[in-house]
């Protein structure tokens, strides 16, 4: 269905999928700061232009986790190699607990980037397979990977191997298949994560 996408150059031939959440209406992870916006300059108040002051956490809305999120000695969002966040990816639809064997099947064919549609629980064993395969990026619809006691260990397995974690995706309009992904972080020095507006081309 999406074969040959890498060789196409005319944007009219692509379907564009906006797979990010609106930042201010998206739920924040429990305990994280809630994003806010306030007018700093306002045309209505007599200023020459409008300018907004933003307050937000580095993991609000649709965002990615950089290795520094769990490892202070590793690089931040601004140093993530862009080839990890740009390129062909596979979208798969699953639910429930994801096993190591399922991940091996999803990564057949030298898949470098994987987005998972559905309410899933990524196990430590599945994360280990991704780390061993040196996956560029894994994305999920939930605001975090892992759950409960496994949440920290799953993050650590992936980020120690420098697998970018993309969280808070909106994939309801996307059918499983092969797409071109663009999910670059903002260029903010040393940050542990960054909001993104990811896009799929198919």
Mean pLDDT, the chain cut into blocks of 10 residues (202 residues total):
54 89 96 97 98 98 98 98 98 96 95 97 96 98 87 97 98 98 97 98 96
Q: Which residues contact 93 (CB under 8 A, 6 or more apart)?
A: 116, 117, 118, 176
pLDDT of residue 3: 47
Give the model's pLDDT for residue 6.
Answer: 54
140 contacts 147 by C-beta, under 8 angstroms: no
- Give the 3-state secondary structure of 124-156: HHHHHHHHHCCCCEEEECCCCCCCCCHHHHHHH
Pairing of strands 113-117, 120-122: unpaired
- The confidence score (pLDDT) of residue 151 equals 92
Specify the CATH class of 5-22+58-201 in words.
alpha beta
Give the separation between CA 167 and CA 196, rounded to whole angstroms: 10
Q: What pLDDT score does 101 carry? A: 96
| In the chain, domain spans | 5-22+58-201
Taking the model in full, what pTM does it have? 0.92
pLDDT score for 148? 77
Structure confidence at residue 149 (pLDDT):
79
């Amino acid at each position: 269905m999406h074969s040959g996408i890498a060789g196409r150059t005319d944007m009219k031939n692509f379907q564009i999928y906006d797979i990010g959440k609106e930042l201010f209406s998206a739920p924040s992870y429990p305990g994280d700061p809630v994003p806010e916006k306030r007018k700093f300059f306002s045309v209505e108040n007599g200023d020459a232009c409008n300018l907004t002051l933003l307050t937000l956490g580095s993991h609000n809305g649709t965002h990615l986790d950089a290795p520094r999120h769990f490892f202070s000695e590793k690089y931040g969002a601004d140093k993530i190699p862009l080839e990890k966040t740009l390129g062909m990816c596979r979208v798969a639809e699953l639910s429930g607990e994801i096993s190591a064997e399922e991940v091996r099947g999803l990564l057949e064919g030298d898949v470098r980037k994987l987005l998972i549609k559905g309410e899933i629980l990524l196990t430590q064993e599945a994360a280990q397979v991704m780390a061993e395969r040196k996956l560029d990026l894994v994305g999920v619809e939930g605001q975090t990977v892992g759950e409960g006691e496994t949440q920290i260990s799953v993050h650590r397995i992936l980020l120690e191997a420098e697998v970018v974690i993309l969280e808070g995706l909106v994939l309801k309009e996307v059918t499983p298949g092969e797409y071109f992904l663009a999910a670059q972080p903002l260029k903010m020095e040393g940050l542990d994560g960054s909001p993104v507006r990811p896009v799929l081309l198919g």
